[in-house]
């Protein structure tokens, strides 16, 4: 027989302390609403365990009482993955108190951290040990490494260092039956059968709760130069990328694109971040070069590649940041585009991945099709061009109309964009994940064989469907 909610809460209080079982409506509220304010759920409680054993004990108690669990990190996810459903029969497990850096091994170039360590704290801990942790994204001040791994987060340094998956060497995970899987080994090679670690990365909490991870570290580059470059078209942006790839190879550490409408939105909501380049350029690209030799070496490289690009016409204007403050401003420009979008109102998000060579065709076709149906829409197209990842976001004609436009046209516009993605062999989620936002598209996108395999894995690990049910894959 299952416990009543009251008795369950009492047992949870005994397990982790009464002050860490949050039930008061005002205190519970932040755990029930996602960052975009698109998803709101209900929960019996939000639980704040302080260590892996407490997470395991909570899971065992929940399973015994058929209570579903929603893991939550910094709650900055874009797809509603960390928000409970509306049943009121779930608990949220927040990882925020699992916030210890357990070990740094500078000789092995690894850091072992608990899941609730904030990404920026991890970057700072690495820097304090004279190392570099490259994962970087706009939400780094509040997202947590457990959330980054669970969404296989990308961000702005993927083209050089890879996404969260590629930066992870080992995990500690509480499984859906409460057992603790410990593979916290800092090994770069380990061929001992199935790779269990990779199952949990990008699983968005649907297969277990990540409680700790071993992450890779790197040497700190001695110099970095950042430039903002205007380009006449998406085709020009791709040519520019190819020139930087050919000229700078592994020294190319950032290549981010913003369309004119993205820049206009940025200027409207954050005038101090208006582009320093003259005119309304169809696209502006932020390029970063890092160097292990010298500042002069990096600058020479940047200048010579830009010279060639200006001559060829794929760049029409460029400015190289003259100091750290200006470089920071260029990055702030890029990172504030999603914040400007949030200020503006809801937008139809498409976090798409495409072969880089197909990006100009994708942009031209989608822009033309959408504008022929909705002439005044704003297409806020920006993203990680160096990874083939566009945030091809569509907003209504004005801020006042965004809510109406969003509710009326989301499905139609998403279908059109996703059809184009499929035609070009792309993916409907490059880095944000599936959550509840895209769960109904997964079967069609992955195809029958892959979808059935995913269902089998889910059923094998979580036979009672209690670990973040309804996210990523429906049973
Ligand atoms: P949450 O939002 O709390 O959770 C995300 C998912 O992971 C949920 O399904 C949740 O159940 C699950 N989860 C969380 N922690 C655990 C755990 N310990 N074990 C198991 N499951 C868990 N994303 C990018 O990839 N690239 C970007 O450039 C980027 N930029 C962003 C900029 C802004 C301004 C914002 C608001 C978001 C951005 N994001 C970006 C999205 C988001 O920050 C990332 O998805 C981030 O990795 C989520 O981490 P989190 O700790 O907030 O996770
Ligand atoms: C970014 O790259 C984030 O800025 C957010 O992934 C993208 O809001 C978005 O669509
Ligand atoms: Zn992004």
How far is 270 from 278, CA to CA, in rounded Å?
17
The model's pTM: 0.98
Q: Is ligand 1 within 6 A of the CB of residue 143?
A: yes
**Confidence band for 362, pLDDT divided at 50, 70 and 90:** very high
134 CA to centre of own chain: 14
Determine the pLDDT at residue 114.
99
CATH of 5-94, picked from 1.10.10.10, 3.40.50.410, 3.30.565.10, 3.30.43.10, is 3.30.43.10
Distance 247 CA to ligand 2 centre (A): 28
Determine the pLDDT at residue 432.
98
Whether 221-340 shares its CATH topology with 345-430 is answered yes
For residue 173, give the ligand 1 atom closest to its CA.
19
Q: Which of 137, 209, 332, 436 to mutate to test the pocket of ligand 1 (most atoms within 8 A of CB)?
A: 137
Tens of pLDDT, residue by residue over 290-348, are: 999 999 999 999 999 999 999 999 999 999 999 999 999 999 999 999 999 999 999 99
CATH 3.30.465.10 fits 101-216, yes or no: yes
Burial of 102 (0-12, 13-18, 19+ CB in 10 A): middle
**Confidence band for 441, pLDDT divided at 50, 70 and 90:** very high
Q: Which of 34, 80, 135, 137 to mutate to test the pocket of ligand 2 (most atoms within 8 A of CB)?
A: 137
Assess contact for 172 and 180: CB atoms under 8 A: yes
Locus of tokens 């975009």:
36
**Domain edges within the chain:** 5-94, 101-216, 221-340, 345-430, 438-475
Assess contact for 432 and 78: CB atoms under 8 A: yes
CATH 3.30.70.2740 fits 345-430, yes or no: yes
Tens of pLDDT, residue by residue over 389-419, are: 999 999 999 999 999 999 999 999 999 999 9
Tokens matching residue 234: 């998406």
Distance 385 CA to ligand 3 centre (A): 10
Mean pLDDT of 247-271: 98
Determine the pLDDT at residue 1.
73
Give the CB-side neighbour count of residue 374, counting CA atoms within 13 A: 21
Q: Is ligand 2 within 6 A of the CB of residue 349?
A: yes
Residue 285 has pLDDT above 80, yes or no: yes
CATH number, domain 221-340: 3.30.70.2190
Give me Rg for the CA atoms of the chain. 23
Mean pLDDT of 224-235: 98
Distance 66 CA to ligand 1 centre (A): 26
């Amino acid at each position: 027989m299952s416990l009543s909610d009251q008795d369950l809460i009492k047992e949870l209080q005994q397990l982790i302390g009464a002050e860490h079982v949050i039930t008061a409506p005002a205190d519970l509220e932040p755990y029930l609403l996602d960052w975009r304010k698109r998803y709101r759920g209900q929960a019996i409680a939000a639980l704040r365990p302080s260590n892996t054993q407490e997470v395991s004990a909570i899971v065992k108690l929940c399973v015994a009482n058929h209570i579903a669990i929603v893991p939550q990190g910094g709650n900055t996810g874009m797809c509603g993955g960390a928000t409970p459903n509306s049943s009121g029969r779930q608990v949220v497990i927040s990882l925020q108190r699992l916030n210890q850096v357990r070990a740094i091994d500078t000789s092995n170039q690894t850091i072992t951290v608990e899941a609730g360590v904030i990404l920026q704290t991890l970057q700072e801990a690495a820097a304090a040990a004279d190392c570099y942790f490259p994962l970087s994204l706009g939400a780094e001040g509040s997202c947590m490494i457990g959330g980054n791994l669970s969404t296989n987060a990308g961000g702005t340094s993927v083209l050089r260092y890879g996404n969260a998956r590629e930066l992870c060497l080992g995990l500690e995970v509480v499984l859906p039956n409460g057992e603790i899987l410990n593979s916290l080994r800092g090994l770069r090679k380990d061929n001992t059968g199935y790779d269990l670690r990779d199952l949990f990365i990008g699983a968005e909490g649907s297969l277990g709760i990540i409680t700790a991870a071993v992450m890779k570290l790197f040497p700190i580059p001695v110099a970095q130069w950042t430039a903002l470059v205007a380009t006449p078209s998406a085709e020009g942006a791709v040519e520019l990328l190819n020139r930087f790839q050919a000229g700078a190879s592994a020294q190319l550490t950032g290549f981010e694109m913003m369309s004119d409408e993205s820049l206009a939105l940025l200027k409207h909501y954050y005038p101090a971040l208006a582009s320093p380049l003259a005119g309304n350029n169809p696209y502006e690209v932020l390029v970063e070069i890092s160097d292990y030799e010298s500042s002069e070496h990096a600058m020479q490289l940047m200048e010579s590649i830009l010279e060639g690009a200006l001559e060829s016409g794929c760049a029409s204007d460029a400015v190289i940041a003259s100091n750290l403050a200006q470089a920071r401003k260029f990055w702030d420009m890029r990172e504030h585009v999603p914040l400007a979008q949030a200020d503006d109102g809801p937008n139809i998000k498409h976090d798409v991945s495409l072969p880089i060579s197909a990006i100009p065709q994708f942009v031209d076709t989608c822009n033309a099709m959408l504008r022929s149906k909705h002439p005044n829409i704003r297409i806020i197209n920006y993203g990680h061009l160096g990874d083939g990842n566009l945030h091809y976001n569509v907003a209504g004609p004005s801020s006042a109309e965004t809510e109406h436009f969003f509710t009326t046209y989301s499905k139609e516009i998403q279908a059109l964009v996703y059809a184009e993605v499929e035609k070009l062999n792309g993916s409907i989620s490059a880095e944000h994940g599936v959550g509840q936002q895209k769960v109904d598209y997964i079967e069609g996108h992955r195809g029958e064989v892959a979808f059935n395999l995913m269902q089998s894995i889910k059923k094998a690990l979580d036979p009672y469907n209690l670990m973040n049910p309804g996210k990523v894959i429906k049973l």
